[in-house]
Amino acid sequence: MSCVSRRDIVAVTPWLAPIVWEGTFDSHLIDNIYRPQNITIAATVFAVGKYIRFLQDFLLTAEQHFFIGYRVVYYVFTDKPEEVPHVNMANNRKLNVVSVPSSNRWQEISARRMELIQTLIEEKLRNHADYIYCLDVDSKFHGPWGAESLGHLVAVIHPGYYGGTRSKFTYERRSVSRAYIAEGEGDFYYCGGAFGGSLKGVHTLADTCRWNFEADAAEGIEAAWQEESHLNRYMWINKPTKVLSPEYLWQDFKPRTPELKIIRFSGVIKNYADIRPNE
Ligand code: UDP
Ligand code: MN
């Protein structure tokens, strides 16, 4: 048994979902469970406008670390299909490009992600994938991300908030918004940059977040952190069945803390003024 027990972290939520940290699982044993199931993992990534520049490193590092040995299908949503880089892939892995319109506001790009994920699941993925992960493109893989992450509804704890107290979480605090979480409520602060689960789990999430987002927008309300706020509200009401530690979405600018034995996926340092179409 290659697992060592960890005493420095909490590995289960109060609703008894695992919190995945290095040293709490045996990947050999987990692969023996999932490999025979012959599952397909879909990964969505948006590369609109200048964010296309992040795609090559994202894909190259995913090919080294993301679900190696499993069938993987990437769906790249972009307004620049001709600029999608060619990356060599093993023959059980492939990439599909989905054209989307450009936008002058990054908030709008972010807003449409849930709708596009919902539509992708309805129109393309049914019967073609078992699990789906939705990932930010401005990030790279540095360590293995595999079947230990699988679950019906999977969220990643935001690296900025895993040690902190709930009162510091940047949830939407105005009760007029459908992303509202009251003071004293909420479990973790989760990232908008990585989430996933079964097709059904993510479809319900995307459908709900999209509906809430649009209903807010119709009343002129934009939640504090756009879809991340709606995702947090959803995950508070519908508890994730698996929670991934910040190993699964670190940030390059953050100094490593002692609990972090490995970084699997991390956001690159970027200059917002350079890459976003608006403030
Ligand atoms: N995005 C994009 N084009 C943009 C803005 C955002 O493609 O102009 C996509 C991209 O996949 C990015 C994600 O939306 O990773 C989230 O935006 P961003 O990474 O800027 O948010 P942050 O992680 O900084 O909160
Ligand atoms: Mn990002």
If you average pLDDT over every residue of the chain, what do you get? 95
Classify 199 in phi/psi space as left (phi over 0), alpha (psi -120 to 50) or beta.
alpha
The answer to which of 17-21, 30-34, 162-166, 205-209 has the lowest mean pLDDT is 162-166
Query: Of 45, 46, 105, 189, which is best to mutate to test ligand 1, by the most ligand atoms within 8 angstroms of its C-beta?
Result: 46
19-20 vs 242-244, strand pairing mode: parallel
Which residues are documented as binding site for Mn(2+)?
136, 138
Question: Closest residue (by CA) to atom 13 of ligand 1?
Answer: 136
Tokens of 237: 């009401």
122 is catalytic: no
**pLDDT value for 2:** 52
Ligand 1 atom closest to 45 (CA): 11
**Among 28, 246, 15, CA closest to 152:** 15
Question: Closest residue (by CA) to atom 14 of ligand 1?
Answer: 110
The answer to whether the CB of 49 is under 6 A from ligand 1 is yes
**pLDDT value for 218:** 96
Interval between CA 138 and ligand 2 midpoint (Å): 5
3-state DSSP of 32-69: HHHHHHCCEEEEEEEECHHHHHHHHHHHHHHHHHECCC
**Among 174, 150, 172, 165, CA closest to 234:** 172
Question: Closest residue (by CA) to atom 12 of ligand 1?
Answer: 136
Cα(156)–Cα(160) distance, integer angstroms: 12
State mean pLDDT over 97-114: 88
* Beta bridge partner(s), residue 95: 74
The answer to whether the CB of 276 is under 6 A from ligand 1 is yes
Interval between CA 48 and ligand 2 midpoint (Å): 12
State mean pLDDT over 141-169: 94
Task: Exactly one of 22, 227, 228, 247 is catalytic; name it.
Answer: 228
**pLDDT value for 1:** 46
The answer to whether the CB of 106 is under 6 A from ligand 1 is yes
pLDDT by residue (tens digit) across 244-271?
A: 999 999 999 999 999 999 999 999 999 8
Question: Closest residue (by CA) to atom 23 of ligand 1?
Answer: 193
The answer to whether the CB of 46 is under 6 A from ligand 1 is yes
Query: Of 51, 100, 108, which is best to mutate to test ligand 1, by the most ligand atoms within 8 angstroms of its C-beta?
Result: 51
3-state DSSP of the chain: CCCCCCCCCCCECCCCCEEECCCCCCHHHHHHHHHHHCCEEEEEEEECHHHHHHHHHHHHHHHHHECCCCEEEEEEEECCHHHCCCCCCCCCEEEEEEECCCCCCHHHHHHHHHHHHHHHHHHHHCCCCCEEEEECCCEEECCCECHHHCCCEEEEECCCCCCCCHHHCCCECCCCCCCECCCCCCCCCEEEEEEEEEHHHHHHHHHHHHHHHHHHHHCCCCCCCHHHHHHHHHHHHCCCCEEECHHHCEECCCCCCCCCCCCCEEECCCCHHHHCCCC
State mean pLDDT over 180-190: 96
Model confidence, pTM: 0.96
**pLDDT confidence tier of residue 170, bands split at 50, 70 and 90:** very high
pLDDT by residue (tens digit) across 47-74?
A: 999 999 999 999 999 999 999 999 999 9
**pLDDT value for 92:** 97
Cα(5)–Cα(24) distance, integer angstroms: 6
State mean pLDDT over 208-234: 96
